[in-house]
Amino acid sequence: MSKLNYIGKTIPRPDSGDKVAGKALYIQDLSRPGMLYGKIKFSEHAHAKILHIDITKAQKLPGVMAVVTAYNTPEMRFGFLRDNFILKKDKVRQFRDEVAAVAAISQEIAEEAIRLIDVEYEPLPGIFSPLEACQENAILIHELDPQGKPVKDNKVPVLFQHSSGDIEAGKKAAKHIVSGSFSTQWIQQSCMGTAGAIAEFDMNNNLTIWTKTQVPFLAQRDFIGFLPCLGLKDKNVRVIVPTLGGAFGTGLDTHAYEYISILLAYKTGKPVKIVYDRNEEFACLSPRQSSQTKITQGCDENGMLTFREIHVIQDNGAYTSWGATFPSVMLLPATSLYRVPNIKFHADIYYTNNTYCQAMRGYGNPEVNWALETNMDELAEIAGIDPYEFRMINCNKSNETTPMGLKVTTCALDKCMESVATKLDWKHSRNQQGKYRGVGMASLFHVGGGGRIYKSDGTGMFLKLDDFGNVYVSHGGVEMGQGLHSVLKLGVAEALGVKPEKVFINQVDTNTCPWDVGTHASRGSFMAGNVTIKAANDLRNKLFEQAKNLFPSLADKNLKAFCKKNPSYEAPKFDVREAALKGNFDLVEGYLFIKDAPKEPWLLVELGTLLRAIHFREQGTMLSAHAFYDPPNELPDWNKGYGNMSASYAVGAQGAEVEVDTETGEVKILRMVAVHDVGKVLNPQTLKGQMYGALAQGLGYTLYEQILTKEGKILNPDFRDYKIPTVKEMDFPIDLEFVETNDSAGPWGAKGVGESGLCPTAPAISNAIYNAIGVRVRDLPITPEKILAALQEKQKQQSE
């Protein structure tokens, strides 16, 4: 690989200047002339018949421009399975169901109008857990499927399963077998910037929507599909993505509030803005799924895993989002973390009257990894093998194909685990008897080279050069805080051969940016990097082709100017014309030169000068390049759970040292170590930021965060009662290390690692807690109450 000028260096990200100055514009900061404020009336029941909606008082309130319900608008469906309705008719199925909405000239009037809407309900009995939902005579959440056919049960019609090898043979071959049941809670993505959109129609009834999305092009498709509900045929939608105040999966689906803003904008002919407040964000935006996982694993006398059986039950809530496809990613750890010859995986997802769920960072991986990596520790204990050694015995290696058909190109899992053990001083730290201190570790296996869960896993890029040597980048990937723009800016500078300050990134806008499937699955940097290299190479070739004829005269001009300044200068003998015709150019930091030419300053032509020569002449032209990159991976057959869904795989290990107060049940994290195979570090600063941040989210998931509900109602819709880690909880050393495996599929060798950092955090901490005090809590979060209860249980068992 040639010398890298920018990739791999610590360079501050390009968007931070505007962000620290308060100049970055989030959806909260945008407004349009004549804009109205939209507000939604949500259901007050988890499951009820709607008997009557009275909107007359709201309609009469001065300043109210429109009031919509399902009774004065056509039926409008949306969602991953089209089982959701933009406004609800006849019945509500969850507390946050949208029953009416208003548009008014101010936020205050919109809020007042909402209060004036009376809805009469007839409450219905509800179902609040998948275990109730799957009972034979359970009441139905949805009586009809989206095609209008009667349904028989509350099962969400998606299928994810896997079966490989021979489970019975694996059981026979096992000397030790351990089973366990684990659960995870609903958690809120807790973006600091809440959700929102502004919709506006032009006089041709084409729509522009500024919205907080991670999938601008799938959103465009959804909205284009929606417009016919309003009687608008063959109309276009332009999606513009403002600066995002975090996303973490909340932007993978289109949401009712977006459709409602569109509906209100169409009704009123004015731009309509809907932004959720914090309570709405907690209570009315979909959280991460809760899950229950049953796992059984066995190993032989040497500690080799002989089989693994996993069954997951997910609470879908009342409607279906992309989040229902979590099991597609659960399959990764389930089939491919450690070498297991015989595997069975199955997931069942049930409708309930709880809030419907959606994606969050990690997308099913942390849920299953929590069960898997805890079970690994338990199995190791029964087999009498140190849990670190046990993992090493079963460790994945480079160039292997896993039972799911995942082609692991590079894999430094052994190195990662070894480094975690070394950093934790493993052998010594495992035996801190009497101190209530312990260490634990866990690994991860995740997509690192895109993740094909859709027909296309592709992304496009458009590079435009101007007359000054500036490069404009149009790319559909979304910067949501993770540092994509850093990769784009440095990547384009590196691959094209210009200085980063000459690279300008256009706002994501479906009118101007080429298609991208979405910023998810840790794919942003991987995809952006690969498409950048492709587009930049194309642009370089175009430049070099033009330079064959134009370079000599530009070099001549340079030489004349140089000789004027340096009269005694004698140019070396070099036939520029002949050399240029061979086209053997390079472009570095904005200067074009012939590779084998003498190193003379006049033989460097500034890019802007060349571009002007290309443009401003008779029959001139301007240069740009377009590229589309679709990674070498496959859309798995979900029925079989088989297919190489990613072009490379990210692995890593984390370890924790904890101290537990057995009086209060408080867990104190003394330190954490995280060692990740990232392929190649693109920018150490932004990469560290991703890992620290993911780890903090993993910590919140493990110890603090939980959406509490009572019969479907969310009880803690604010930061007072829903606790995300503060700077106080994050007060422990984190030892980060990145292992570079230079993966052949990755841009400059890099893998995607946006989600990796939170996948092993929960089991690493819980294994450390077990090492410290000898008890296990199997449902997240591991609260002090649960620890005390587990300690009491242990004492009871010991005294019996």
Partner 1 sequence: MKREISFNVNSQQMKLEVESHLRLIDLIRDQLGLTGTKEGCGEGECGACTVIVDGKAVNACLYPALELEGRTLITIEGLLEEENKPSVIQKAFIDNGAVQCGFCSPGMIMSTKALLDKNNDPSDEEIRIALLGNLCRCTGYVQIVESVKAAASQIRRKS
Degrees (nearest 5) of the Cα angle 718, 720, 726?
Answer: 110
Q: Name the minimum Å distance from CB 509 to partner 1.
A: 19
Q: What are the phi and psi torsion angles at 34 (to 5°)?
A: 75, 15
What string of DSSP letters covers 414-426?
HHHHHHHHHHHTH
Residue (155 or 688) nearer to partner 1, CB: 688
Kindly state the smallest distance separating residue 726's Cβ from partner 1, in Å.
Answer: 6
Radius of gyration of the chain (CA): 29
Dist. CA 488–CA 678, nearest whole Å: 18
CB of 434 to partner 1, least distance (A): 29
On the question of a cis peptide bond just before residue 598, with omega within 30 degrees of 0, the verdict is no
| CB nearer to partner 1: pick between 248 and 602 | 248
Q: H-helix or E-strand containing 283? A: helix 278-284
Run of H or E residues at 44: none
Contact 646, 452 (CB under 8 A): yes
Smallest separation, CB 110 to partner 1 (Å): 15
**Nearest distance, CB of residue 675 and partner 1, angstroms:** 16
Q: What is the DSSP letter of 317?
A: E
d(CA 296, CA 177): 7
Structural tokens at position 769: 């807690």
Looking at the Cβ atoms of 354 and 686, the one nearer to partner 1 is 686
Q: How far is the CB of 698 from partner 1 (least distance, A)?
A: 10
Q: Residue 637 class from Cβ within 10 Å (0-12 exposed, 13-18 middle, 19+ buried)?
A: exposed
With H, G, I as helix, E, B as strand and everything else as coil, classify residue 721.
coil
Closest distance to partner 1 from the beta carbon of 472 (Å)? 22
Given the complex with partner 1, which of 306 and 358 has the nearer CB atom? 358
State the residue for tokens 């039950």. Answer: 313
Close Cβ partners of 763 (under 8 Å, ≥ 6 residues apart):
369, 370, 372, 373, 374, 376, 377, 440, 442
The H or E element spanning position 53 is strand 48-54
Q: Which is nearer to partner 1, 469 or 757 (CB)?
A: 757
Taking the least distance from each CB to partner 1, the nearer of 99 and 274 is 274
Tell me how far, at minimum, the Cβ of 208 lies from partner 1, in Å.
21
Asked if residues 269 and 360 have their Cβ atoms less than 8 Å apart, the reply is no
Least distance CB 428 / partner 1 (angstroms): 26
Shortest gap between Cβ of 248 and partner 1 (angstroms)? 7
- Contact 346/161 with Cβ under 8 angstroms? yes
Q: What letter would DSSP give residue 493?
A: I
Nearer to partner 1, 383 or 758 (CB): 758
Q: How far is CA 66 from the centre of its chain?
A: 36
Binding site for partner 1 (CB under 8 A): 12-13, 15-26, 28-29, 189-194, 243-248, 277-278, 480-483, 685-686, 688-689, 692-697, 718-720, 724-728, 730-731, 734
φ, ψ of residue 193 to 5 degrees: the values are: -95, 120
Q: How far is the CB of 689 from partner 1 (least distance, A)?
A: 5
95, 42 Cβ separation under 8 angstroms: yes
When the beta carbons of 163 and 685 are compared against partner 1, the nearer one is 685
Closer to partner 1 at the Cβ: 17 or 620? Answer: 17
Of 33 and 148, the one with the shorter C-beta distance to partner 1 is 33
Q: Phi/psi at 746 (nearest 5 deg)?
A: -85, 155
780, 774 contact by CB (below 8 A): no
- The 3-state secondary structure of 767-789 reads HHHHHHHCCCCCECCCCHHHHHH
Question: At its nearest, how many Å lie between partner 1 and the CB of residue 401?
Answer: 35
Cβ at position 658, least distance to partner 1 in Å: 17
Cα-Cα-Cα-Cα dihedral sign, residues 89, 91, 94, 100:
positive
Sign of CA dihedral 475, 194, 97, 700: positive
Beta bridge partners of 42: 98
Smallest gap from Cβ 226 to partner 1, in A, equals 28
Cβ atoms 276, 196 nearer than 8 A: yes
> Rounded to an integer, what distance in angstroms lies between the CA atom of residue 306 and that of residue 176?
10
Closer residue to partner 1 (CB): 25 or 382: 25
Q: Which is nearer to partner 1, 73 or 761 (CB)?
A: 761
Residues ≥6 apart with Cβ < 8 Å to 571: 559, 563, 600, 602
Q: Measured from the CB atom, is 24 or 635 closer to partner 1?
A: 24
Whether the CB-CB separation of 261 and 187 falls below 8 Å is answered with no
Q: Minimum distance between the CB of residue 261 and partner 1, rounded to whole angstroms?
A: 19
Give the closest residue to 413 by CA, choosing from 390, 396, 400. 396
Is the CB of 557 or the CB of 688 nearer to partner 1? Answer: 688
Measured from the CB atom, the residue of 252 and 623 that comes closer to partner 1 is 252
Min CB(731)–partner 1 separation in Å: 6
Between 94 and 482, CB nearer to partner 1: 482
Instruction: Give alpha helix (H) positions in 86-202.
Output: 107-115, 130-133, 167-173
By DSSP bridging, strand 207-211 and strand 196-201 are: antiparallel
